[in-house]
Amino acid sequence: MNIKQSISNDEWRVKIFKALADEQRLAVIRELTRHSDPVAYAKISDLLGTGKSMISYHLKMLREAGLIEVTRNGQQKFITLNRKVFAGVLPGFLQTL
């Protein structure tokens, strides 16, 4: 079950806006827009100069809002931007970054 199926549209939108209401999380989204391939957690941490535990917290917020998807390959986790959510809820937003 994805997040949109478990809560109302308004609650989902609130989660999205809360997730985007932080400069570090916006920086993560901005960085992910520059990559078409999945990006490793560690690379995001290095690119933003933020500790891995803080990046994990921010990525959790973005994932819970449905804005990113996380996959695992062995012990590494990779992040991709969920462009469908942005296109459906915030069309044009990614182009403004």
Neighbours of 69 (CB within 10 A): 15
Residue 3 has pLDDT above 60, yes or no: no
DSSP state of 79: E
Class of domain 9-96: mainly alpha
Q: Are strands 76-81 and 68-73 parallel, antiparallel or unpaired?
A: antiparallel
Give the number of C-alpha atoms closer than 13 A to the C-alpha of residue 42, restricted to the C-beta side.
Answer: 4
Neighbours of 48 (CB within 10 A): 16
| In the chain, where the domains are located | 9-96
Contacts of 13 (CB under 8 A, 6+ apart): 89
50-74, pLDDT tens digit by residue? 888 898 999 999 999 999 999 998 8
- Give the predicted TM-score (pTM) of the model: 0.85
